[in-house]
Structure 1
């Protein structure tokens, strides 16, 4: 039984952090669905979310392979399948969660910092030149404008509506009409079962043995990339690379931290 592990913040990769991207998981998914004799593909999902685009690309690839190969998919939630992580889990025909897993967070969030007052106190002058009046909206070194925030919220609403439609399509009549279902709220695996966000409680080994017999063999097909290879693949200057790595690490840590992890 092929098993693909999808662990980490989505689209927030780095040489020292696990992450989930389409480029990173495509080969493993293709291999899993092409494994001779495979009757089902198991996904282990452990992600607090991240990029909605990468989440959707992975979701679509899983669905396409499932249809093409006529192989079912089961997703097993470990610590968390939230936001984009839950979108990926929805690509499965069945979602299985631990009672203490965290599931849901069907919403869209953007975060950043405002440095305009800080650089003013430091006596730093911001020089920014752009062609197009909207090119530099939400620049963190300039005062926030109400119209720029509204533009961002409009984009978020569009992405959120797409997310909601996807969940409704995949989960169908199983979903409850809980008023907080699409507010970004999240629940334990046990509560998510009652809400229709997951199909059952359990774990990978027990579920697969119940379904395919005690002799079922679970084979991991998640690609392993060496740390050296990942480090050598960076083209940025050392200082820039380390700065970007630190910021990305904080963003990923914040995502996990929202769920107490």
Structure 2
């Protein structure tokens, strides 16, 4: 039975939302949007907080590791510092790293002996000289703590320069020792340009400003000038080795020629004082416990150096107390 006034074919009419219902829907949507914004902000905040927390833990770990070296009481130990690889500015065997390690070792009252554990083919004469002079200075400041060096595979050129500043030098019978000389090598490509038909345009102010340019023919005057420079650096090297080794050195015409020898041969020439390893020397000196004071960059510093991220380096400079002031 059909209702009154309603036809058989008619359907219920849809009711339009009222203004009140629209406002309610709008409020629900706005509340949901605000909740999403708050969630996003809190998510960003917690991500930043986690990042800061992780960096904080890293800095605390680094400080704790440094404090452990300088503050842990051992009752007497041998401090070991590695001088490995090419001696160059900014490298692990550079002056900043080696001298900082020496200072850290001597700062600990339980350090009774310091051993430089050398395995290097040499490198920069400037960096080697910096380290040599600082070892001499630290020996004068801490005469009660002997500083020795032990050459493992190689202690040549600048590496031997450094060793000459220590109280005694030891090596293995098969170690490479010596190479007291200075070298500089280049290539000359001036004829190659002519064969290729390439015209080089260079503008300089100063007669010798293009000195050692590989695309310019070397003048005899400039060659003599450069040899004089090398001889001067070589003489400084010789003088410091003689001062460091003193009467123990038995020089011959070949000693300062740039040649190198085995540890056994170097012992006969007075270039080393004995054939011992680091552990053997530490036992003989009565401080068998060895503590490594070798400077090694922190993980953050390595990350900054490898990626060249200026922000990471800024964070490192603010958080780290590893300051170098040799220059």
Name the counterpart of 1:247.
none
Structure 1 residues without counterparts, runs of 5 or longer: 236-261
Name the counterpart of 2:85.
8
Q: Deviations over 1:36-69 (max 9, x none)?
A: 2212111011111111111000111122122112
Q: In 2, Cα distance between the equivalents of 1:190 and 1:12?
A: 32
Structure 1 ranges of 4+ moved more than 4 A? none
1:65 aligns with 2:138: yes
Q: Which has the larger radius of gyration?
A: 2
| Cα gap change, 1:136 to 1:19, in 2 (>3 Å) | farther
Q: Contact 2:129/2:162 (CA < 8 Å) preserved in 1?
A: yes
Name the counterpart of 1:89.
163
Deviation of the 1:19 alpha carbon = 4.7
Q: Contact 2:92/2:296 (CA < 8 Å) preserved in 1?
A: no
Structure 2 residues without counterparts, runs of 5 or longer: 1-77, 311-327
TM-score (norm 2): 0.66
Match of 1:220 among 292, 305, 308: 292
Deviation of the 1:212 alpha carbon = 0.9
Name the counterpart of 1:117.
191
Name the counterpart of 2:105.
32
Q: Which has the higher helix share?
A: 2
Name the counterpart of 1:78.
152
* Structure having greater relative contact order (Cα 8 Å, sep ≥ 6): 1
Q: Deviations over 1:155-174 (max 9, x none)?
A: 11111111111111111111
Deviation of the 1:234 alpha carbon = 8.2
Q: In 1, Cα distance between the equivalents of 2:167 and 2:256?
A: 21
Which aligned pairs between 1:189-204 and structure 2 lie closer than 5 A? 189-204=263-278
Root mean square deviation of aligned Cα: 1.7
Q: Deviations over 1:78-128 (max 9, x none)?
A: 111111110001111000001000001111111111122223323322222
Name the counterpart of 2:241.
167
Q: In 1, Cα distance between the equivalents of 2:92 and 2:214?
A: 26
Q: Contact 2:89/2:127 (CA < 8 Å) preserved in 1?
A: no
SS of equivalent to 2:256? coil
TM-score (norm 1): 0.83
